[in-house]
Amino acid sequence: MPAIEFTIEKKIEGALGRAGALKTPHGEVRTPAFVPVGTLAAVKSVTPEELQALGAQMVLANTYHLYLQPGDETVAKAGGLSEFMGWNGPTMTDSGGFQVFSLGFGKGKKGVTKVLRDAATAHENDTATEHTKLVKIDDEGATFTSHIDGTTHRFTPERSIAIQEHIGADIIFAFDECTSPFLPHDSMKASLERTHRWARESLQAKRRSDQALFGIVQGGRYADLREASARFIGGMDFDGFGIGGSFDKNDMTSIVALVNGILPENKPRHMLGIGEVEDMFEGIERGIDLFDCVLPTRLGRNGTILTAQGKYDICKKEHAESFAPIEEGCGCYACAHWTKAYLHHLFKAKELLGYRLATIHNLYFIVHVVDAIRQSILDGTFFEYKKRFLETYLR
């Protein structure tokens, strides 16, 4: 018996998108679906009961972080991820590849694009950066320095799979190399060959039959490399597929359509690290079934509220005496009980409840937008719904 079962219920006419059902050992996920990120076996500031109440179906935890703290063996002794965090629904873990790659990134005020361009330049010139001082990647794996205590550790495909089997999520990912999208073609090709080697080794290392293993398609922004990766990974005995986010956002829609036109139609596809509403519409249209991203929770903690009319900053003075709900017509716990004025006050006073309420609202919003997209597929009205929603959301 496979660890998961995926059924397609209805397709979008003239596109690759579909509505489906993904059965896991801890329950069923109706797809497409947004998966909240619980990095350290916790979605920041939100309890499992609150996650369930706002409609979340699955949670993704982070292999790299749980390995370092509290340790994957501790999670195993607790009975696995679901038991450890008190979440009785389906779970996923990433491979740790992205976190190892990104050590030392996101610091300072350069911005993500500048950091990624600098990383690509340093790679080509073989020069040291803050990143290369923290992680060294070779054909067998990655040696890295813990961001917690400076100790040295090493991930290989075998080690990543063993850690994920300890953590015990329903769906785990093959170890891959996530690179800067600005690497030149030859360097990206060499990285892709390494990812493909690690994919084979991840499959060989897997021991547990109650976990599904997803292979990851890489190749950056290069269509020929993405096509080659989709054919290689799609031809292997994975239970599903992840699409790695190492591409320029302007190339995303064409890359996703290319990849999903090649991958086996009868297996689920997960897009890693994508959380903008407009990107999810485009991804779903092109055959993506699952998304995960920290964006809704991170925005909430920083006071950015997601609504059907677009985003707004709750900290702005104009909300100080607005006694309307956080979003009119929203069914979330926060909107049912409190106003913009109260949430504005909480943020200004740096009260922790403010971060919790904003996070609950943003997660509810994202989860229910994707649920509504799913229903529009079932109803045969996807394109009408997409046009109507985005006209208001992006205005």
Residues annotated as part of the active site: 94, 292
Beta strands in the chain (DSSP E): 5-11, 18-24, 27-31, 33-36, 59-61, 91-93, 135-137, 142-145, 152-155, 171-173, 212-217, 240-243, 269-272, 290-293, 304-307, 310-313
- Find out whether 43 and 87 touch, Cβ atoms under 8 Å: no
Q: Distance (Å, rounded) from C-alpha 95 to C-alpha 161?
A: 8
* H or E segment to which residue 276 belongs: none
Phi, psi of 309 (to 5 degrees): -95, 5
Q: Distance (Å, rounded) from C-alpha 19 to C-alpha 36?
A: 19
- Find out whether 285 and 382 touch, Cβ atoms under 8 Å: yes
Q: Distance (Å, rounded) from C-alpha 1 to C-alpha 309?
A: 45
What is the per-residue DSSP string for 216-241? Answer: EE--TT-HHHHHHHHHHHHTS--SEE
How much is the CA Rg of the chain, to the nearest whole Å? 21
- Find out whether 230 and 262 touch, Cβ atoms under 8 Å: yes
Number of other residues whose CB lies within 10 A of the CB of residue 116: 20
Q: Distance (Å, rounded) from C-alpha 29 to C-alpha 92?
A: 12
Bridge partners of residue 60, in order along the sequence: 37, 92
